[in-house]
Amino acid sequence: MVASAIEARAGGAALGAAGGAVPRSPEGRRRRLLVGVAGGLLGVFLLACVAPTGPEDPASYPPRAESPYLLPWPAGVLRFCVQGNRGVVSHRGRERFAYDFAMPVGSQVCAARAGTVMRVVVTHTGRGTDKPNNLIGVDHGDGTTGWYLHLRKGGSRVAVGERVLSGQVIAESGNVGRSMLPHLHFHVTGADGATQPVTFRDVAADYGIPRMFSFYRSGNRAPEEPGAEAGEAGEAGDAAGDGERAREGDGDREGDTPGGADGPGH
């Protein structure tokens, strides 16, 4: 009798292996249903996040040709904008005019605009939602301050009170604080601490407003280079040309404070 039962089971298994239909358990169907529903909800969530990203009204930004700002890394270097204004992960509310540019830890960070260093914090290590940030703040003398976040520990090249010029190397980038990958977070705040709309003179496309998932080549020359002094007639055209070539190139793409200084700043 036992032998008959064993033979019956073996025969059932052989039938299933030969192509016979094996009933699926209710538990398995429920699991697949839940996975499908979760995947659909995730897709809807991602679509909702991506759809409203970028500048709401580019015409409300300062004209690119008149902008005092240049991309905050050395001229000629190509960088990838991983998150722009009103991003997917952050850059919302008071931080909506911020930018994130991917770059390896230790990359040179340049002053996007001349000013006076008013804050330097480069003592922290580690990254996570509860980790403090490393940063530098540069007062532009007109009520606005430029902030450079996620710098490496000990990565400052300047001191508080020091006058810096556009294009001057002021720090080394890092991956510290609320950071998901090595990058530089840059934003400008006004007197109220909220981020301000900023265009870059060396970004010829997109009204001078870097967009998420796009590459940009800096035209931010070091102060000792010819034509590097802010305000010189040739700089705007040269810088804009660099930015335009970055968008056209297809073969060399390698490469909370006020507004969120000590805390956020993804």
- Which pLDDT band, with edges at 50, 70 and 90, does 84 fall under? confident
The reported pLDDT for the residue numbered 23 is 57
Nearest by Cα to 243 from 103, 78, 110, 81: 78
Euclidean distance between CA atoms 221 and 213, whole angstroms: 24
- Structure confidence by residue, pLDDT tens digits, 188-223: 999 999 999 999 999 999 999 999 889 999 999 998
pTM for this predicted structure: 0.70
pLDDT value, residue 45: 53
| Best CA proximity match to 158, nearest among 147, 170, 168 | 170
Residue 50 pLDDT greater than 70, yes or no? no
- What stretch of H or E contains 15? helix 2-17
pLDDT at 251: 30
**134 pLDDT exceeds 70?**
yes
Could you tell me which of 221, 258, 223 has the C-alpha nearest to residue 135?
A: 258
180-210 per-residue burial string, b: 16 or more CB within 10 A, e: under 16: eebbbbbbbbeeeeebbbbbbbbbbbbebbb
pLDDT for 90: 67
Average pLDDT, rounded, for the chain:
78
Across the chain, how many H-helices and E-strands are there?
3, 11
Of the two residues 9 and 221, the one the predictor is more confident about is 221
Residue 133 has pLDDT above 80, yes or no: yes
Q: Which carries the bigger pLDDT value, residue 116 or residue 259?
A: 116
Domains and CATH numbers, the chain: 63-248 (2.70.70.10)
What does the pLDDT look like over 161-192, one tens digit per residue?
A: 999 999 999 999 999 998 889 999 999 999 99
Asked if residue 21 has pLDDT above 60, the reply is no
